[in-house]
């Protein structure tokens, strides 16, 4: 039996159980997670009204980090403040983190087996299709103007030629804000100059509180030393969690830029395997960080990576409540955010191209990717059915190759 709490405080135990359940069954990525939350907390439990849910969803999309996890944190905070914030977020994340640790342990031990390799060989093709589907749908919403389209093309070009992903986003946000900046400049020259300046001064402490974390994480992420350490692993994921806008799939571009290109801690194959494993498990897409952390540093690495990538989401949700309405009312901040999102989608598209070259290696993987993309776009098939089908195909394929190797003269 579900107890209604439309306006009152919800017991912390009930919050924990609700989000533990979601963390176990939430397959399909951020959009699916948010749909499950709407069903659970608006229609079934009636913890929030439809408008309250939409307000929090808009706020989650305006700050860096995993939107579905931040939705969980927002909902917990709305019902029980800081204790609810921590419990809701942790209970949504922990099931996926624990499960992916077991998967990572099996990968480390058995990753060279033909059957496991076959599963990954086929599932990677589905992952590419999922990325392309997400890119297509998000681009239709995010590219609102010709300027944003040009920003996306420029960002993709810069990233493809090796420009640092953070620099690309900075350029994209700056260009996106130029038209609004010109308007603001004209306003400042008029009678509203005094009131606008007073508003900016009043807003500055709150902006500084949010930017301090992001600036620290960004500076930490520029450490260029190659040797592995848990501290550097934590700082790298802290940077990613603090600066990543858009869908969880944009994470792929950041992971490749840091762990494959800059630090050389992962190969292209290991990154694709990590992404594939993240798709197989329920919960946040960002749990891919747990898998990477385990590969690099065992259980301590998994814990450090998980805390690093999710910690900014908790902090940003806590400080963004009073700031979100002012961001929405600021033409400059909204325009800059639109530019950042266009740049993020460009990074996502380039990463899909680069990873696709490593995943689509023969007619079978190309066919799996094409069929998966068609089923996703045309028939909206749940991605888990595609992953399951690809896993079966991969196991059969791996077994056939293994058997052929054994019986070959």
Whether 4 maps to a domain, the answer reads: no
- Residue 238, domain member (yes or no): yes
Q: Give the pLDDT score at 407.
A: 41
Sign of CA dihedral 23, 28, 34, 38: negative
Instruction: Establish how many alpha carbons lie within 13 A of residue 367's alpha carbon, considering only the half-sphere containing its beta carbon.
Output: 6
Whether 126 and 47 map to the same domain: the answer is no
Number of separate domains in the chain: 2
- Kindly state whether residues 63 and 108 are assigned to the same domain: no
Whether 327 and 359 map to the same domain: the answer is yes
Say yes or no: 89 and 105 in one domain.
Answer: no
Residues 106, 81 within the same domain: no
Same domain, 117 and 225: yes
Q: Domain of 134?
A: 97-407
User: Is position 150 within any domain?
Assistant: yes
* Residue at 222 is within a domain: yes
- Determine the Cα–Cα distance for residues 398 and 407; give it in Å rounded to an integer: 14
**In a shared domain, residues 71 and 199:** no
| Final residue belonging to a domain, choices 61, 96, 131 | 96
- Rounded to an integer, what distance in angstroms lies between the CA atom of residue 356 and that of residue 95? 29
pTM for the model: 0.63
Point out the domain boundary residue: 96, 115, 142: 96
Claim to verify: residue 334 and residue 348 sit in the same structural domain: yes
Q: Are residues 119 and 255 in the same domain?
A: yes
Contact between 336 and 146 under an 8 Å Cβ cutoff? The reply is: no
In a domain, 7, yes or no: no
Structure token digits, residue 4: 């209604």
User: Do 66 and 313 form a contact (C-beta atoms < 8 A)?
Assistant: yes
Whether residues 223 and 317 share a domain: the answer is yes
81 and 177 co-located in one domain: no
Asked if 25 and 87 sit in the same domain, the reply is yes
- SS3 for the chain is CCCCCCCCCCCHHHHHHHHHHHHHHCCCCHHHHHHHHHHHHHHHCCCCCHHHHHHHHHHHHHCCCCHHHHHHHHHHHHHHHHHHHHHHHHHHHHHHHHHHHHHHHHHHHHCCCHHHHHHHHHHHHHHHHHHHHHHHHHHHHHCCCHHHHHHHHHHHHHHHCCCCHHHHHHHHHHHHHHHHHHHHHHHHHCCCHHHHHHHHHHHHHHHHHHHHHHHHHHHHHCCCCCCCCHHHHHHHHHHHHHHCCCCHHHHHHHHHHHHHHHCCCCCHHHHHHHHHHHHHCCCCHHHHHHHHHHHHHHHHHHHHHHHHHHHHHHHHHHHHCCCHHHHHHCHHHHHHHHHHHHHHHHHHHHHHHHHHHHHCCCHHHHHHHHHHHHHHHHCCCCHHHHHHHHHHHHHHHHHHHHHHHHHCC
Rounded to 10°, the helix 146-160/165-189 angle is 150
Q: How far from 213 is each of 171, 240, 241, 312, 327, CA to CA, in Å? A: 20, 12, 11, 8, 18
Instruction: Please tell me the number of Cα atoms within 13 Å of 159 on its side-chain side.
Output: 31
For the four alpha carbons of 34, 23, 310 and 294, in that order, the dihedral sign comes to negative
On whether the CB atoms of residues 33 and 248 are closer than 8 A, the answer is no
Specify if 126 maps to a domain: yes
Q: What is the pLDDT along the chain (409 residues), one digit of tens a residue?
A: 455 544 457 888 899 999 998 888 776 567 667 777 887 888 788 888 877 777 777 677 667 888 788 888 988 988 888 889 999 999 999 988 898 888 888 888 776 555 666 777 888 888 788 778 878 877 887 888 999 999 999 999 998 887 877 688 889 889 988 887 777 666 656 554 455 444 444 544 443 444 444 444 444 444 444 688 899 999 999 998 888 765 556 677 788 888 988 888 988 888 888 877 776 677 777 888 999 999 999 999 999 999 999 998 899 888 876 666 676 577 788 788 788 878 878 887 887 887 788 788 899 999 999 999 999 888 878 777 888 898 899 888 877 665 554 443 3
Query: How far, in Å, CA of 129 to CA of 273, rounded?
Result: 15
Per the domain annotation, does 236 fall within a domain?
A: yes
Contact 345/142 with Cβ under 8 angstroms?
A: yes
Q: What is the per-residue pLDDT for 112?
A: 56
Q: What is the pLDDT of residue 157?
A: 92
The burial class, CB within 10 Å (0-12 / 13-18 / 19+), for 195 is exposed
**Dihedrals φ, ψ of 100, to 5°?**
-70, -25
Q: Are 316 and 89 in contact (CB under 8 A)?
A: no
Domain final residue pick, 96, 126, 153: 96
């Amino acid at each position: 039996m579900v107890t209604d709490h439309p306006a009152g405080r919800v017991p912390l135990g009930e919050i924990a159980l609700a989000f533990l359940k979601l963390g176990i069954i939430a397959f399909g990525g951020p959009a699916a997670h948010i749909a499950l939350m709407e069903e659970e907390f608006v229609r079934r439990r009636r913890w929030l009204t439809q408008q309250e849910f939409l307000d929090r969803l808009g706020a989650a999309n305006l700050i860096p980090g995993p939107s579905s996890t931040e939705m969980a944190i927002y909902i917990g905070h709305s019902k029980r403040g800081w204790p609810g914030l921590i419990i809701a977020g942790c209970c949504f994340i922990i099931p996926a983190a624990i499960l992916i640790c077991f998967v990572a342990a099996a990968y480390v031990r058995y990753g060279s087996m033909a059957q496991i390799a076959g599963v990954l060989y086929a599932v990677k093709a589905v992952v590419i299709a999922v990325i392309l589907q997400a890119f297509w749908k998000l681009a239709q919403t995010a590219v609102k103007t010709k300027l944003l389209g040009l920003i996306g093309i420029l960002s993709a070009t810069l990233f493809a030629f090796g420009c640092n992903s953070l620099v690309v986003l900075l350029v994209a946000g700056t260009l996106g804000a130029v038209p609004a900046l010109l308007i603001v400049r004209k306003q400042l020259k008029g009678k509203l100059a005094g009131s606008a300046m007073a508003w900016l001064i009043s807003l500055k402490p709150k902006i500084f509180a949010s930017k301090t974390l992001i600036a620290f994480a960004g500076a930490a992420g520029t450490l260029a030393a190659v040797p592995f350490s848990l501290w550097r692993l934590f700082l790298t994921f802290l940077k990613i969690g603090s600066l990543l806008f858009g869908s969880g799939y944009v994470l792929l571009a950041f992971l490749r830029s840091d762990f494959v290109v800059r630090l050389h801690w992962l190969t292209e194959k290991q990154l694709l395997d990590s992404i594939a494993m993240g798709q197989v498990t329920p919960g946040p897409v960002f749990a891919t960080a747990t898998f990477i952390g385990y590969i690099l540093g065992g259980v301590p690495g998994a814990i450090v990576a998980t805390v690093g990538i999710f910690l900014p989401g908790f902090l940003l949700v806590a400080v963004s409540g009073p700031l979100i309405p002012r961001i929405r009312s600021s033409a400059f901040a909204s325009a800059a955010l639109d530019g950042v999102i266009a740049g993020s989608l460009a990074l996502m598209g380039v990463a899909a191209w680069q990873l696709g070259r490593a995943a689509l290696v023969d007619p079978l993987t190309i066919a799996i990717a094409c069929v998966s993309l068609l089923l996703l776009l045309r028939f909206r098939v749940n991605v888990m059915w595609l992953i399951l089908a690809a896993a079966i195909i991969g196991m059969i394929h791996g077994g056939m190759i293994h058997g052929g190797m054994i019986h070959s003269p």
